[in-house]
Amino acid sequence: MAEERAVNHEPSAADLMRDLRRRIDELDELLVRTLSARAACALEIGRQKKLLGLEIYQPNREAEVIAHVQRINPGPLNNESMKRLFERVIDEARRLEREAEPEGDEHT
């Protein structure tokens, strides 16, 4: 009788790393699309603020955004990490708002 060998069906560490990195790439693509959509909203908000004569920097609103993302944060990033990440996102959104041209004033 031929000796039966146990077949290992568990993925190797290298296979798992490859799969996790592929998943990270997919999530990065989702992040880029989501951040781009958020940036488009910020650009339009900048246009509207200029039309309404509002200040670009609105610290109360920025505090609301930080509080909101911390409230919905499921982890594993802690709230301080989430705050730091969103401070950068908000900084870039504010930069776009400052650069926004009111509707009809685009230089193309």
CA separation for the pair 34, 59 (Å, rounded): 23
CATH of the domain at 35: 1.20.59.10
Of 84-88, 93-97, 99-103, the range with the lowest mean pLDDT is: 99-103
Residue 7 lies in a domain: no
Residue 106 lies in a domain: no
Kindly indicate the confidence band of residue 7, based on its pLDDT and cuts at 50, 70 and 90. Answer: low
Instruction: Residue count of the chain, please give it.
Output: 108
| CA proximity to 101, closest of 40, 39, 50 | 50
pLDDT digits (tens, 9 = 90+) for 40-92: 999 999 999 999 999 999 999 999 999 999 999 999 999 999 999 999 999 99
CA atoms within 13 A on the CB side of 80: 0
Range of the domain at 93: 16-99
Residue 107 lies in a domain: no
Supply the pLDDT for residue 108.
Answer: 42
CA separation for the pair 68, 76 (Å, rounded): 17
